[in-house]
Amino acid sequence: MLAPIQGKISVLIPCFNEAGSIRENLREISAFFAEFSESYEVICVDDGSQDGTLAKLKAVAERDPHIRVLHYRQNEGKGFALRCAFQAADGDYVVFLDADLDLHPRVLGKFFQLMQEQDADVVIGSKRHPESRVSYPLRRRLISKTYHFILWLLFGLPLRDTQVGLKVFRRRVLEEVFYKILCKRFALDVELLANIHRLNYKIIEAPIELEFRRTVRWGRVTYDTLWSTLLDTLAIFYRMHILKYYDLKFLREGSYPTVSVIVPYDRYSPEVEETLRGCLDIQFGSFTVIACGTDPPRLESDRILYVPLDARRASLLEIIEGLPTEALAFVRPGAVPDRFWLEKASRNLGSADIVAVSGPILPQAGDFWSEAVREVLSSLMGCGGFRYRYMQSLHRYVNTITLENLIMKKEDLVSALRRNRLDTGVETWLGHYIQKGRKRVVYDPEVVVHRRFAPLFVPYFSTIFTWGHTRGQYIRLNPASLFRWPETVFVLPALLVLFLAVGLPMALLSPLFAKVFLAAIAVYLVLVALESFSSLRPGMILAIGSGIVSTHIAYGVGCWMALLLNQRSGIKPVAVELKH
């Protein structure tokens, strides 16, 4: 028997639908570590299981003080579960272990022995180690070898196997890289190891004993799993070698800025209260919620500060100048931020040239028509290159912002507001100000805000019409914006409306132009139809297609009405919302 390990061991176990065996497996795991180490903890994360796994985890944890249980409702993936577990762990060594016990921890004695003898920072199990004893399907062997070859081409990893679920890390190594990791599912191992290798930490492989217990054809590996893992792997390559994401200076916990979360509203409503409650659930060190409205919030909390909107406080600038805070976050009524919204945003503010962070606005669960709106907004035809706002896309730099989901350094926002006091198009000119100063806005796909979208058709079109109207107002005040990228894209729906309004009577007068007109409309409708097949449900296909076309028309009509009639929008941007 190996002498007890000096130092605490944290065992991280992601669990998803393991109700059939998790109770016995956890007892076996805890009994092993009780003999293996003088100090240990087992952190189990229920990854949105639907089969009673959570209840069995809690039952075992009640009888064993070494076992801790974390959980969340929605299935997020193995990688996400391990990241959550690591945030709660405090051991000197961190062990990744699968809940199914296909890989038994009894081989860890060899892992720790190799770590000490070779002064390694990470020891990973490898099915292809000469001393390994494995029994798993031939198909899985072929997949493993093919994937290893891809990793060698992309990252030069000197490892024969990265996907074995048994790994041992020195804690300081994970602290160096884990906070930059983005993968939620099976590619997390690759993202971790590629970054650890990139930082010149020593990784070695150890033999394992693998008994593949599952009788289904691919085990837990499905075609969807293979495809999503490949896409995630390519995304890691993009972030590492093209975006240089892993070279960015990230803030660490303890150095995050103080934040004021601004929630503006005209009158107090259930939507406002829902947003305030969501803000209070945020897990972050130092933040205050600023409720800006004509009447005080009915929700009482030490974190909520009410700022009445009256003649003395007439603008966004006057409200934020006096706030004792380093960063400002914006969220509108009806939206609910993710629990880690501020933490994930703040970590991006470590570089001086990065002044703001934005992220996706994802729909809360809704009915058929709300789902159709989500599909329209996240489609290329529906929202163009800006669809990343409504889906979790790649981490990137962006040149437009939305106050629907924005965290910005206070000093930069104050400077921008002092230079430009336009009431209309605050998001657009603020984006221009940032670009002109050669600053950057980061889009982080994990900086998530959830909200209910207005359903198709009438409520949604009212919102889209307002967006177009606001854009038209801004163009009246700033004609040069028509020639700035990417704002030029915003006027394409207006050009479509102009083409329809002018082209239809011309087509009636000219047979030649009629052919051109019909050909252009046919090409447009074919593109819309192709986009509509993102869903395979006939009803949803029709809803997406008609939604895209109607979106373009509603936006374009709103834009033209603002340009030609010089009317003010019924729903004003935040800089105006904060006025009485």
Same domain? 222 vs 279: no
Last residue of a domain, one of 454, 487, 511: 454
Last residue of a domain, one of 413, 430, 454: 454
Closest CA to 493 of 528, 541, 533, 443: 528
Same domain? 491 vs 510: yes
Residue where the block lists tokens 């010089």: 566
d(C-alpha 403, C-alpha 361), whole Å: 11
Helix (H) or strand (E) holding 232: helix 223-237
**CATH number of the domain to which 101 belongs:** 3.90.550.10
pLDDT in tens, 80-107: 899 889 989 999 999 999 988 888 888 8
The reply to whether 49 falls in a domain is: yes
Alpha helices in 281-409 (DSSP H): 316-321, 341-346, 368-377, 380-383
The reply to whether 176 falls in a domain is: yes
Same domain? 243 vs 281: no
CA R_g for the chain? 27
Q: Are 449 and 357 in contact (CB under 8 A)?
A: no
- Bridge partners of 304, per DSSP, are 289
Same domain? 405 vs 330: yes
Q: Which domain holds residue 390?
A: 259-454
Domain count, the chain: 3
d(C-alpha 406, C-alpha 156), whole Å: 37
Same domain? 449 vs 473: no
The reply to whether 315 falls in a domain is: yes
pLDDT in tens, 405-451: 999 999 988 888 777 655 555 677 777 778 777 788 999 988 999 98
Helices (H) and strands (E) in the chain, counts: 20, 20
Same domain? 267 vs 361: yes
The reply to whether 129 falls in a domain is: yes
Q: Are 81 and 14 in contact (CB under 8 A)?
A: yes
The reply to whether 190 falls in a domain is: yes
The reply to whether 3 falls in a domain is: no
Tokens of 315: 């603008």
For residue 317, how many other CB atoms are within 10 A of its CB?
Answer: 15
Using the CB atoms, write b or e for 218-250: b if 16+ within 10 Å. Answer: ebebeeeeeebbeebbebbbebbeebebbebee
Q: At what angle do helices 368-377 and 538-565 cross, to 10 degrees?
A: 60
Alpha helices in 37-74 (DSSP H): 53-63
Q: What is the DSSP letter of 120?
A: -
Same domain? 306 vs 385: yes
SS3 478: coil
Residue 430, class by beta-carbon neighbours within 10 Å (0-12 exposed, 13-18 middle, 19+ buried)?
A: buried
Same domain? 535 vs 552: yes
Tokens of 272: 């406002």
The reply to whether 163 falls in a domain is: yes
Same domain? 481 vs 566: yes
Same domain? 420 vs 503: no
Cβ neighbours for 121, distance < 8 A, ≥ 6 positions apart: 169, 170, 173, 196, 201, 202, 203
Query: Would you give per-residue pLDDT tens digits along the chain (580 residues)?
Result: 455 577 899 999 999 989 888 999 999 999 999 988 889 999 999 998 888 899 999 999 999 999 999 998 888 888 889 988 998 999 999 999 998 888 888 889 899 999 989 999 999 998 888 888 876 677 777 887 888 888 888 988 888 888 888 999 999 999 999 888 888 887 889 999 999 999 999 999 998 877 655 443 334 556 777 888 888 899 899 989 988 888 888 888 788 999 999 998 888 999 999 999 999 999 898 899 999 888 899 988 999 999 887 644 456 777 788 888 999 999 989 899 998 899 999 999 988 889 999 999 988 767 788 888 888 988 989 888 788 888 888 888 887 788 889 999 999 888 887 776 555 556 777 777 787 777 889 999 889 999 888 887 788 888 899 888 888 887 887 787 777 666 677 788 999 999 999 999 999 899 999 999 999 999 999 999 999 988 888 899 999 999 999 999 999 999 999 888 865 443 333 332 322 2
The reply to whether 253 falls in a domain is: no
Q: At what angle do helices 538-565 and 492-509 cross, to 10 degrees?
A: 90
Same domain? 44 vs 190: yes
Q: Which amino acid is at 317?
A: L
d(C-alpha 478, C-alpha 17), whole Å: 56
Same domain? 473 vs 559: yes
Closest CA to 559 of 469, 429, 455: 469
pTM for the structure as a whole? 0.74
Last residue of a domain, one of 247, 275, 308: 247
Helix (H) or strand (E) holding 134: strand 133-135
Instruction: Please provide residue 233's backbone torsions phi and psi, each rounded to the nearest 5 degrees.
Output: -65, -45
